[in-house]
A and B are shown apart, each in its own frame.
Chain A
Amino acid sequence: MEDMKQVIFTRPHKTIYAAGDKIIKVFDRRYTAADVLNEARNEALVEQYATLDVPSFVSVSETPEGWCLARKKIEGKTLAEIMDEEPEKLETYMEKFVALQMTVHGQKVFSIKRLRHKLMDQINSLKDVSATVRYELATRLQSMPKHTKLCHGDFNPSNVIVDGDGRWWIIDWAHAAQGNASADAAMTYLLFCLEDKSKADLYLKLFCEKSDTARQYVERWLPIVAAAQLTKQKEEQKDFLTGWIDVAEYQ
Chain B
Amino acid sequence: MAAQTNEAEAKLIDHVDALQARMKEMRKAQEIFASYTQEQVDKIFFAAAMAANKARIPLAKMAVAETGMGIVEDKVIKNHYASEYIYNAYKNTKTCGVIEEDPAYGIRKIAEPIGLVAAVIPTTNPTSTAIFKTLICLKTRNAIIISPHPRAKNCTIEAARIVLEAAVAAGAPENIISWIDVPSLDLTNEVMRNADIILATGGPGMVKAAYSSGKPALGVGAGNTPVIIDDTADIRLAVNSVIHSKTFDNGMICASEQSVTVVGDIYDEVKREFQYRGCYFLKEDELDKVRHTILINGALNAKIVGQSAHTIAKLSGVDVPEATKILIGEVESVDISEEFAHEKLSPVLAMYHAEDFDEAIAKAKQLVADGGYGHTSSLYIHPAQKEKILKHAAAMKTCRIVINTPSSHGGIGDLYNFKVTPSLTLGCGSWGGNSVSDNVGVKHLINIKTVAERRENMLWFRAPQKVYFKKGCMPVALDELGTVMGKKKCFIVTDSFLYKNGYVKPIEEKLDQMGIRHTCFFEVAPDPNLSSALAGARAMTAFEPDCIIALGGGSAMDAGKIMWVLYEHPEVDFLDLAMRFMDIRKRIYTFPKMGEKAYFVAIPTSSGTGSEVTPFAVITDDRTGTKYPLADYELLPNMAIIDADNMMEQPKGLTSASGVDALTHALEAYASIMATDYTDGLALKAMKSVFEYLPRAYENGADDPVAREKMADASCLAGMAFANAFLGVCHSMAHKLGAYHHLPHGVANALLICEVMRFNAVEVPPKMGTFSQYRYPHTLSRYAECARFCGVCGKDDGETLELFIKKIEELKEKVGIKKCIRDYGIDEKDFLDNLDQMVEDAFDDQCTGANPRYPLMSEIKDMYLRAYYGK
Give A residues with C-beta under 8 Å from B: 130-133, 135-136, 138-140, 142-143, 215-216, 219-220, 222-223, 243-244, 246-251
Q: Are A249 and B300 in contact (CB-based, < 8 A)?
A: yes
Interface status of B203 (Cβ within 8 A of chain A): yes
Ranked nearest first, the 10 interchain pairs of A and B with the lowest CB-CB distance are A249-B203, A247-B299, A219-B298, A143-B205, A250-B222, A143-B208, A132-B151, A139-B205, A248-B302, A138-B185
Chain B 301-318: CB-based contact to A (< 8 A → 1; otherwise 0): 111010000000000000
Chain A residues near B342: list those with CB within 8 A.
Answer: 250
Chain B residues near A247: list those with CB within 8 A.
Answer: 296-297, 299-302
A143 to B204, CA, bound (A): 8
Interface status of B345 (Cβ within 8 A of chain A): yes
Give B residues with C-beta under 8 Å from A: 122-124, 149-151, 183-185, 188-189, 202-206, 208-209, 222-224, 252, 254, 296-303, 305, 336-337, 342-343, 345, 371
A45 to B503, CA, bound (A): 102
Chain A residues near B224: list those with CB within 8 A.
Answer: 250
Chain B interface helix/strand/loop/mixed = loop
Chain B nearest CB from A166 CB (Å) reads: 35
Interface centre among A131, A223, A248, A251 (most CB of B within 10 A): A251
Chain A residues near B151: list those with CB within 8 A.
Answer: 132, 135
Beyond A132-B149, A135-B150, whether A251 also contacts B301 by CB under 8 A is no
Q: Are B204 and A250 in contact (CB-based, < 8 A)?
A: yes
Q: Are B184 and A251 in contact (CB-based, < 8 A)?
A: no
Q: Are A250 and B149 in contact (CB-based, < 8 A)?
A: no
Chain B nearest CB from A124 CB (Å) reads: 9
Chain A residues near B345: list those with CB within 8 A.
Answer: 248, 250-251
Q: Are B299 and A251 in contact (CB-based, < 8 A)?
A: no
A140 to B204, CA, bound (A): 8
A136 to B204, CA, bound (A): 11
Chain B nearest CB from A129 CB (Å) reads: 12
Q: Are B209 and A139 in contact (CB-based, < 8 A)?
A: yes
Chain B residues near A223: list those with CB within 8 A.
Answer: 296-297, 299
Q: Are B203 and A139 in contact (CB-based, < 8 A)?
A: yes
Q: Are A250 and B203 in contact (CB-based, < 8 A)?
A: yes
Chain B residues near A132: list those with CB within 8 A.
Answer: 123, 149-151
A243 to B151, CA, bound (A): 18
Q: Are B302 and A136 in contact (CB-based, < 8 A)?
A: yes
Beyond A219-B298, A222-B299, A243-B296, whether A135 also contacts B203 by CB under 8 A is no
Known contacts A139-B203, A247-B296; 17 further A-B pairs (Cβ under 8 A): A130-B150, A131-B183, A133-B302, A136-B205, A139-B209, A142-B189, A216-B298, A219-B297, A219-B298, A222-B298, A223-B296, A248-B299, A249-B300, A250-B204, A251-B252, A251-B254, A251-B343
Which residue of chain A is the closest to B203 with respect to CB atoms?
A: A249
Q: Are A246 and B302 in contact (CB-based, < 8 A)?
A: yes
Which residue of chain A is the closest to B211 with respect to CB atoms?
A: A143
Chain A residues near B206: list those with CB within 8 A.
Answer: 139, 143, 249
Q: Are A251 and B297 in contact (CB-based, < 8 A)?
A: no
Q: Are A244 and B209 in contact (CB-based, < 8 A)?
A: no
Chain B residues near A243: list those with CB within 8 A.
Answer: 296
Chain A nearest CB from B201 CB (Å) reads: 8
Determine which of B205, B223, B336 lies in contact with A249 in the assembled complex, contact meaning CB atoms within 8 Å.
B205
Q: Are A222 and B343 in contact (CB-based, < 8 A)?
A: no
Chain A nearest CB from B68 CB (Å) reads: 11
Which residue of chain A is the closest to B306 with respect to CB atoms?
A: A248
Q: Are B298 and A248 in contact (CB-based, < 8 A)?
A: no
Q: Are B205 and A222 in contact (CB-based, < 8 A)?
A: no
Determine which of B188, B205, B222, B371 lies in contact with A140 in the assembled complex, contact meaning CB atoms within 8 Å.
B205
Determine which of A131, A133, A250 lies in contact with B343 in the assembled complex, contact meaning CB atoms within 8 Å.
A250
Chain B residues near A135: list those with CB within 8 A.
Answer: 149-151, 183-185
Chain B residues near A142: list those with CB within 8 A.
Answer: 185, 189, 205, 208-209
Chain B nearest CB from A204 CB (Å) reads: 10
Chain A residues near B254: list those with CB within 8 A.
Answer: 251
Chain B residues near A246: list those with CB within 8 A.
Answer: 296, 301-303
A130 to B222, CA, bound (A): 24
Chain A residues near B209: list those with CB within 8 A.
Answer: 139, 142-143
Chain B residues near A131: list those with CB within 8 A.
Answer: 150, 183
A223 to B297, CA, bound (A): 9
Beyond A132-B151, A142-B209, whether A248 also contacts B183 by CB under 8 A is no
Chain B residues near A133: list those with CB within 8 A.
Answer: 302
Beyond A132-B151, A138-B185, A250-B342, whether A244 also contacts B296 by CB under 8 A is yes
A76 to B296, CA, bound (A): 38
Chain A nearest CB from B182 CB (Å) reads: 9
A249 to B122, CA, bound (A): 10
Beyond A136-B302, A138-B185, whether A248 also contacts B297 by CB under 8 A is no
A248 to B222, CA, bound (A): 12
Q: Are B208 and A250 in contact (CB-based, < 8 A)?
A: no
Chain B residues near A143: list those with CB within 8 A.
Answer: 204-206, 208-209
Chain A residues near B188: list those with CB within 8 A.
Answer: 139
Q: Are B298 and A251 in contact (CB-based, < 8 A)?
A: no
**What are 5 A-B pairs at a CB distance below 8 A?**
A132-B150, A135-B185, A215-B337, A222-B296, A246-B302
Chain B residues near A250: list those with CB within 8 A.
Answer: 203-204, 222-224, 300, 342-343, 345, 371
